Amino acid sequence: MEAFFHQYLQFSRTFTKKINEHIADLDLYQSQWSIVYYLQKNKTATLVEISNYFQVEKPTITRTVNRLEDRQLIEKVASADKRERRIQLTEKGLDVYDQASAVIDAFEKQLVEEIPKDDLEITFRTIQRLLFKINKEESV
């Protein structure tokens, strides 16, 4: 168990890299994909909502969203609160979602197909517990 976290990060890097390779045709990156995915599920969102969901800091979200906007995959939605930047997928964004979704679903399915359901369940719950625990850590 010595190398638990080492191995954990190893898979994380490799997974992200492979996802990036799989959607490179679409000129998309994993983190961009995750926002596209979120928007498809939630219709509209503010940057703070996205930031909270992924637990990624706001400046990072701002930048990635800007890239999606430059590529016209997302667009602004009117909002009562003038501070807010509420966004949604464009037609083009939805199209990219469909294409990326197919590729990524297949990739992920194939990745776990030989692993017993029970083991995946336990792994999922264990990571969930680790996440819960680490989020209770007082910030330094």
Q: How far apart are CA 73 and CA 92, in angstroms?
A: 6
Q: Which does 102 bind (CB under 5 to 8 A by kind): a second copy, DNA, none?
A: none
Residues at the site binding a second copy, with contacts judged by CB under 8 A: 1, 4-16, 18, 21-22, 24, 34, 54-56, 108, 111-112, 114-115, 119-131, 133-135, 137, 139-140
* Closest distance of CB 73 from a second copy, Å: 20
Residues 87, 39 contacting (CB under 8 angstroms) = yes
Beta strand pairing call for 44-46 and 86-89:
antiparallel
How far apart are alpha carbons 2 and 11 in whole angstroms?
Answer: 16
Q: Which is nearer to a second copy, 79 or 128 (CB)?
A: 128
For the bound state, the minimum distance from the C-beta of residue 83 to DNA, rounded and expressed in Å, comes to: 4
- Shortest distance in whole angstroms from residue 95 CB to DNA: 18
36: how many CB neighbours lie within 10 A of its CB?
Answer: 23
Q: What's the DSSP call for residue 115?
A: S
Site residues for DNA per CB under 7 A: 13, 17, 20-21, 29-32, 46-49, 51, 55-60, 62-67, 80-86
